[in-house]
Amino acid sequence: MAAGAVAAIGRWLLAERDQLPVWIVVAFGAGIASWFALPGADWPVAVIALGLGAALLVRAVCGPWGAMELGARAAFVALLMLAAGMAHMSLRADRVAADPLASPWFGALTGRVLEREAQPARGQVRLVIAPAPALGLPERVRVNLELAFDDARVRPGAIISARARLMPPAQAALPGGYSFAQRAWFEGLGATGRLLDAPQILRPGGPATSLDSLRARLSAHIQQAVPGGAGGIAATLATGDRGAISEEDAEAMRRSGLAHLLSISGLHVTALIGAVWLITLKLLALFPPLARAWRLPLVAAGAGALAGIAYTLLTGAEVPTIRSCAAGLLVLAALALGRDPISPRLIAAGAMLVLLIWPESLMGPSFQLSFAAVTAIVALHDHPAMRAWAAADYSWPGRVVRFLAMLFLTGLLIEFTLMPIALHHFSKAGLYGALANMLAIPLTTFVIMPLEAIALLLDLAALGAPFWWLCGQALNGLLALAHGVAEAPGAVALFPRSGAGVYALFVIGGLWLFLWRSRARWLGLIPVALASVLVALQPVPDLLITGDGQHVAIPRPGDRLVILRRRTGEYALQSLSESAAFEGEAIPIEDWPQARCNAEFCSVVLGSGQRDYAVLIGRNRERVPERALAAACRRSDIVIAGRWLPRSCRPRWIKADRAMLARTGGLALYLDDQVVRTVASDHAGHPWWDRAVALREAERATQRETRRLSIRPR
């Protein structure tokens, strides 16, 4: 029985042998993902040792490489790549180590400007500064400067001084939420904050690089030629500068499923490279002597490659753009060599290149969204039925119908493919994105970008105004589409955040569906279906507490969200709403009839299927009589406060004060099962969390010792 199963697996792998190289990259990525999923400094060593040990066991049992069966070879390579991915990620995390600021800091910040990014839509300029060593600050900090305080001399290389307020990089506010501290660790940022006044220029910055100067002048020129929100998007498409896009337009693009158009990545780079390749090929073909003397596909591929590289550099060489450019260059290489450019191997090669340089990008939505979309497109169009349909000979009306049908099918597949990723990272997914993209992608690719390119070219002779007008009308149409879809009833589906295990089921099922070619691929529907059921059954937390204890939310039946503070900040309110799968106007707790509040505390009773829970929530940090507080704590099941509570405060279940929240981070409480999810369970054991905790504890120990010495009798 076992021998027959092994033989059947061997025959199946032999039939799928062309797909096995793609799974090498999957195994490498699994090692990287394991580093993020497994907490503690000992896990990487254990996984590496386990992978290498298992590979050596396969080698010992199955003999040398030449004597191994295909299945044994696949297992041997997969185990080695799993260990390699874990080792590579561990080395990367150590190499970019940047200790965060231990506690909030206020003072005169003096340092050298490293990076500058104008964000006119937000009324600010974002700077990355290397502080003077004497300040004892992290090596790189990021600060925002109001446009009213901006100075043209504040550019890379300048030495400036200004009053600043700095904060440690923010950890995730709630379990499953976005952690800027994780991103800051890999970007080498130790603090973020704001400059509070106009900076004093101690030394002006050097001349801007020609590329930076060109990008800034080009962005300003486009925004002048196309006014309003359309100009911000036009500048983004040409230069990658997203600073002129208003938050309202950006949110509409996100809700309508069109946000990918604002990120210079696959669509834009592919459109440019493809256009340059095709135009070069057709123009050279008009000259028979050149066509006979040169290999035109190779020359056209070279022109497309140069155009793609130039566009990548012009738009700031962000990771998604570099990733897309690398994939485009691989496609050009395949075309030049006469190979099939639509191949999973090319996608795998591009992914491997990115993971070797930026392995941490695997866990970000940008990498996952772009590679998932491309993989789904290749899998769809590589299917024999789709190939036969694409090769069929139709009249021109039939070809138009086929093009529209394939575009809709592609958009629909992409929408379903990206939905789990959007739910995992943002707790929301668009429902009309396939229809919106069916209109927006051709509009952007075949109308807006060509019009913008022609307008820029004709501006050399001051003749581009008519094309800028047409481009602006097309962009206004794109914005109208985005706002219309975003405001449509049911445009966005909201779900509570599920755990990493549920998301892993989606990933495993999706990879199995898209990377195999035989009928066994449909087995991938099993984990996808299971994960879908788990997402649908995921309960909404009964109580949400941010890591600082200052913000509390109580999701209630009937689409209501009760919040602690009437003036909750936009970021905190967004985090609470996403975790509660809530969209609408939140209710301050003092306006909620079921709450009793005074100046210091609010008390509520929350019911569950098992029992009622008495909850006491602190509203400020004012001192209260300890005896009265202790009595109130004894009557409560849960006590929440953004300050330290005395030991005499002993509730029946949880005391979520500043001491506890410093260890756990934000909390999500599920009362029916008495389950508590914490931010620490997601991030503890990783450097951006552990170093922040260690530095805070060291600073508190220093402060306690200082206070002890200051009160020691002389």
pLDDT the model gives residue 710: 66
Over 70: is that where the pLDDT of 678 sits? yes
| pLDDT tens-place string over residues 83-106 | 999 999 999 999 988 889 988 999
What domains are defined for the chain?
2-95 (no CATH), 105-207 (2.40.50.140), 214-364+436-491 (no CATH), 500-537 (no CATH), 543-671 (no CATH)
Pick from 73, 61, 31: nearest CA to 48: 31
Structure tokens at 576: 């609470």
Selected residue with higher pLDDT from 545 and 43: 545
| pLDDT above 70 coverage of the chain, percent | 94
Beta-carbon contacts of 417 under 8 Å, excluding residues fewer than 6 positions away, are 372, 373, 376, 510
Over 80: is that where the pLDDT of 295 sits? no
Pick from 93, 75, 74, 118: nearest CA to 32: 93
Structure tokens at 335: 């075309």
Structure tokens at 625: 């009589």
| pLDDT tens-place string over residues 439-457 | 887 888 888 888 888 898 8
Range with the lowest mean pLDDT among 188-192, 369-373, 468-472? 369-373
> Within 10 A of 590 (CB to CB), how many other CB atoms are there?
15
CB 344, CB 19: distance < 8 Å: yes
Structure tokens at 19: 């797909």
In angstroms, what CA-CA distances link 149 with 7, 142, 208?
A: 72, 16, 20
**Average pLDDT score over residue span 33-46:** 86
CB 105, CB 230: distance < 8 Å: no
In angstroms, what CA-CA distances link 87 with 75, 91, 684?
A: 18, 6, 19
Beta-carbon contacts of 201 under 8 Å, excluding residues fewer than 6 positions away, are 151, 153, 154, 158, 159, 160
| Burial class, 129, CB count within 10 angstroms (exposed 0-12 / middle 13-18 / buried 19+) | buried
User: Is the full-model pTM beyond 0.75?
Assistant: yes
Length of the chain: 714
CA separation for the pair 29, 37 (Å, rounded): 12
Over 80: is that where the pLDDT of 108 sits? yes
Beta-carbon contacts of 636 under 8 Å, excluding residues fewer than 6 positions away, are 603, 614, 615, 616, 651, 652
Mapping DSSP to helix (H, G, I), strand (E, B) and coil, where does residue 581 land?
coil
**Average pLDDT score over residue span 181-201:** 93
